[in-house]
A and B are shown apart, each in its own frame.
Chain A
Amino acid sequence: MTYTLHVLSIISISAGLLFFLAGTVGLLRLPDTLSRLHALTKADNLGLGLIVLGLLFQAPGLLGGIKLILVWLLVLFGSAATSQLIARLARERRSSR
Chain B
Amino acid sequence: MMPGSMAELLFDSILVLTLLAVALSILALRQAFAAVLAFVTYGLLLAIAWVRLGSVDVALTEAAIGAGVTGVLLIAAASRLRRSIPIADKASPGIPMRIAVGALCATISAALVAAVLHLPTPAPGQALAAVANLPSTGLGNPVTGVLLAYRAIDTLLEAVVLVLVLLGDWSMAPDGQWGGRPGPRLAPEVNGPLGLLVSVLPPVGILIGIHIFWIGADMPGGAFQGGTILGAMWILTWMAGRTAPPHTSSERLRLVLVVGPALFLVAGFAGIVFAEAFLAYPEGWAKPLIIGIEAALTVSIAAALAMLVAGWPSREAPR
B164 contacts the other chain (CB 8 A): no
Interface string of A60-97 (1 = CB under 8 A from B): 00000000000000100110111011001000000000
Of all chain A residues, the one with the shortest Cβ separation from B198 is A81
- The answer to whether A81 and B193 have CB atoms under 8 Å apart is yes
Interface string of B98-133 (1 = CB under 8 A from A): 000000000000000000000000000000000000
Q: Which residues of B have CB within 8 Å of A82? A: 193
- The answer to whether B194 and A77 have CB atoms under 8 Å apart is no
**What is the distance, in angstroms, from A50's C-beta to the closest C-beta of chain B?**
19
Q: Which residues of A have CB within 8 Å of B192? A: 84-85, 88
Interface string of B182-201 (1 = CB under 8 A from A): 00000000001110110011
- The answer to whether A81 and B197 have CB atoms under 8 Å apart is yes
- B contacts with A, residue count (CB < 8 A): 8
Q: Which residues of B have CB within 8 Å of A80? A: 193
- The answer to whether A77 and B193 have CB atoms under 8 Å apart is no
- What separation, in Å, do the CA atoms of A21 and B197 have in the docked complex? 28
Q: Which of B193, B200, B201 interacts with A84 by CB under 8 Å?
A: B193
- The answer to whether A74 and B204 have CB atoms under 8 Å apart is yes
B-side interface mostly? helix
**What is the distance, in angstroms, from B75's C-beta to the closest C-beta of chain A?**
14
- What separation, in Å, do the CA atoms of A84 and B200 have in the docked complex? 16
Interface centre among B192, B193, B200, B204 (most CB of A within 10 A): B193
Interface centre among A74, A80, A81, A82 (most CB of B within 10 A): A81
Q: Which residues of A have CB within 8 Å of B194? A: 81, 85
- What separation, in Å, do the CA atoms of A35 and B222 have in the docked complex? 40
- What separation, in Å, do the CA atoms of A42 and B308 have in the docked complex? 34
- What separation, in Å, do the CA atoms of A80 and B200 have in the docked complex? 13
Interface string of A8-37 (1 = CB under 8 A from B): 000000000000000000000000000000
Q: Which residues of B have CB within 8 Å of A88? A: 192-193
Of all chain A residues, the one with the shortest Cβ separation from B194 is A85
**What is the distance, in angstroms, from B269's C-beta to the closest C-beta of chain A?**
40
Q: Which residues of B have CB within 8 Å of A78? A: 197, 201
Of all chain A residues, the one with the shortest Cβ separation from B197 is A81
Interface string of B55-75 (1 = CB under 8 A from A): 000000000000000000000
- What separation, in Å, do the CA atoms of A78 and B201 have in the docked complex? 9
Q: Which residues of A have CB within 8 Å of B197? A: 77-78, 81
**What is the distance, in angstroms, from A63's C-beta to the closest C-beta of chain B?**
12
**What is the distance, in angstroms, from A6's C-beta to the closest C-beta of chain B?**
12
- What separation, in Å, do the CA atoms of A74 and B196 have in the docked complex? 13
9 smallest CB-CB distances across A and B, nearest first, come from A84-B193, A81-B193, A81-B197, A85-B193, A81-B196, A77-B200, A85-B194, A74-B204, A77-B201
* Known pairs A81-B197, A85-B193 / 10 extra A-B pairs, C-beta < 8 Å: A74-B204, A77-B201, A80-B193, A81-B193, A81-B194, A81-B196, A84-B192, A84-B193, A85-B194, A88-B193
Q: List 7 A-B contacts (CB under 8 A).
A: A77-B197, A81-B193, A81-B194, A81-B197, A84-B192, A85-B192, A85-B193
Q: Which A residues have a C-beta under 8 Å from some C-beta of B? A: 74, 77-78, 80-82, 84-85, 88
